[in-house]
Structure 1
């Protein structure tokens, strides 16, 4: 690996261990085996490095979940969606610092046009990936799932005992779809 990749790896490690707000440049330098000047040279600022690390770590985490889902017709759509929710909810607990950093970055994006642009582009890619991984190429499915992920993440971090379960979420999606069915009336 080169210095840039070492910095990203160190920043990802720090995000996982400390979260966004508590990670210092000294932490990153120690974890990456590089030097302070390398952060400025490759990323400009600590925040730009951490933002890149957070975006990549989040994408990697969701991709690990999606690629762990069984291929083919081993599961029907409800089972596949429930399994996805279950693995995602588990990752909120096992990768809590990373997901907390994600929420912190969303708050920072309110004040950073550059970060807003980066997160917006990542969200577009996520919608497409979620749609495909869940068995459909309709980006609206990915948009709904991604929107639910955001709310679920906040609930799981703030009060995990009261967050919806995987089964609740799948049943809720089905109930919502039934409401929009013209035969529902």
Structure 2
């Protein structure tokens, strides 16, 4: 690899080990085996290099997560929907745990989306890919619901994934688990069935 690729690889390593805000140019140089002048020559600034490294790392990790979730969703076609829901979310949470430092670094940069258009666009594209991936998973798991409902469900599941990720990063001891999310799903299904049957809320 040349210095450009070495810098990008080193910056990704620093993001995982130190986070976005704490990474210095000298950290990247040490991790990449290059020199300070190379950062300016190839990327213009440390910030531009870190932004590119974070975008690539998040996309790569998102692709890995998507493959893992798709495999889990297809693992047991005969299982009931709630069991498959639980298995999928257990796997998603495991991925958040396995790549904790990278997802934490990705949250650090959310405050810059208004100032750095390429970050806004990259994150917007990643979120849309997440929606589409979740919608495709839903169609495979519940084909009887019809394709017309899956975009909205994909957006809902993507929002749930973002919320669960934040909870795991902030407070992993009390963040929801796959079984807990499945239990919430069962409760919502029971409410929906009760509403469809014209039943009121259960008495206290």
Shorter-chain TM range is 0.7 to 0.9
Matches within 5 A, 1:41-60: 41-60=41-60
Would the alpha carbon gap of residues 154 and 42 (structure 1) be closer, same or farther in structure 2, given more than 3 Å must change? same
TM-score by length of 1: 0.81
The reply on whether 1:74 has 2:76 as its aligned counterpart is: yes
Which stretch of the first structure deviates more once superposed, 169-178 or 156-165?
169-178
Q: Which range moved further: 67-76 or 87-96?
A: 67-76
**Kept after mapping to 1: 8 A contact 2:93/2:178:** yes
Q: What is the aligned partner in structure 1 of residue 12 from structure 2? A: 12
Match of 1:183 in 2: 196
Larger CA Rg, structure 1 vs 2 = 2
Equivalent in the alignment of 1:170: 182
The RMSD of aligned alpha carbons is: 2.7
Pair 1:120 & 2:124 matched? yes
CA deviation after TM superposition for structure 1 residue 63, in Å: 2.6
The answer to whether the aligner puts 1:99 opposite 2:112 as a matched pair is: no
Give the unaligned 5+ runs of structure 2: 141-146, 199-204
Alignment gaps of 5+ in structure 1: none
8 Å CA contact retained: 2:12, 2:54: yes
> 1:82-161 counterparts in 2 under 5 A?
82-136=86-140, 138-161=150-173
How far 1:14 moved relative to its partner?
0.9
Contact 2:19–2:104, Cα closer than 8 Å, also in 1: yes
Secondary structure at the aligned position of 2:173 is classed as helix
TM-score (norm 2): 0.74
Cα 1:99–1:73 shift into 2, 3 Å: closer
The alpha carbon displacement at 1:101 in A equals: 0.6
